[in-house]
Amino acid sequence: MNFTDVFNAVSAHKRRHRVGRGAGSGSGKTAGRGQKGLGSRTGANYLRGYVGGQTQLKERLPKIGFNNAVHTTSYLALNLAFLDQNFADGEVVEIATLRAKGFTIRRGDLVKLLGRGELAKRLTIRVHAVSASARKKVEAAGGSLELLETSAVAGLVKPDNA
C-alpha cells in the first residue's frame, strides 16, 4: 500500500456546499430549511427545550413539588387484645417492651392505642395517641395512660421527661 493511495487529492479538497443558490444547485429555493414554520424564517429563535411540535421533555416528565402526604401523621395501630395476650398484670407498656414482645416498630414510628379487644390487666401504657374507647377500657381495668410527645422535626419521637 502506498501513501498516495490513502489520501485522494479529489476528496481532500471538497468544495463547500452553497445553499440558496438556485433550484439547480441541489439545495436551492428553500435552502434545506423546509417549507414553512419557525425554522424557515430568517432570525429564527428556538426556545430552550423546543423539540419541533412533539410533546416537550419537560411536559413528559412527572411533576414534582408539593405533596400533602408529607404533612400527614400516620400511626401504627396497637390493639388492647395484643396487650392482654402479651403482657402480665402490672407491667409497663412502652416502645422498647413492645419491640421485645414482637411488635414491629421502626425508629420514628408513632403508636396509637385502639380499643379492639378487652383488657383485664392493670397496665401502665406509654404511647403517642389513644382512642376514646381504648382510654375507657384501660381506666376501667385500673391501668394508667401516659402520652408521649411527638416531635415534628424529622419524625423523631421523644418522651415527656426528655
The pLDDT of residue 161 is 47
**Same structural domain for residues 88 and 132?**
yes
Q: Report if residue 60 sits inside a domain.
A: yes
Q: Give rounded-to-5 percent helix, strand, coil for the chain.
A: 25, 15, 55
DSSP state of 149: E
pLDDT at 48: 85
Q: Are residues 73 and 149 in the same domain?
A: yes
Same domain, 154 and 95: yes
Same domain, 75 and 58: no
CA–CA separation, 138 vs 146, rounded Å?
A: 11
Helix/strand/coil for 37: coil
Residue among 71, 80, 75 nearest 128 (CA): 75
11-58: per-residue pLDDT in tens? 667 778 888 888 888 888 888 888 888 888 888 888 888 887 889 888
Position 2 in a domain: no
Same domain (yes/no): 51, 74: no
The total number of structural domains in the chain stands at: 2
Residue 11's pLDDT is what? 64
148 and 73, same domain (yes or no): yes
pLDDT at 74: 87
**Model confidence over 85-125: pLDDT tens digits?**
999 999 999 999 999 988 888 888 899 999 999 999 999 99
Is the separation of the CB atoms in 76 and 82 below 8 Å?
no
Whether the CB-CB separation of 83 and 119 falls below 8 Å is answered with yes
Same domain, 45 and 107: no
Structure confidence at residue 9 (pLDDT):
61
In a domain, 91, yes or no: yes
Give phi and psi for 75, each to the nearest 5.
Answer: -120, 150
Share of the chain above pLDDT 70, in %: 85
pLDDT computed for residue 16 by the predictor: 83
Would you state the pLDDT for residue 34?
87
Report pLDDT for 129. Answer: 94
The domain containing residue 26 runs over which residues?
13-64
On whether residue 1 sits in a domain, the answer given is no
Same domain, 42 and 116: no
6 inside domain: no
User: pLDDT, tens digit, for every residue of 62-90?
Assistant: 988 888 887 888 899 999 999 999 999 99
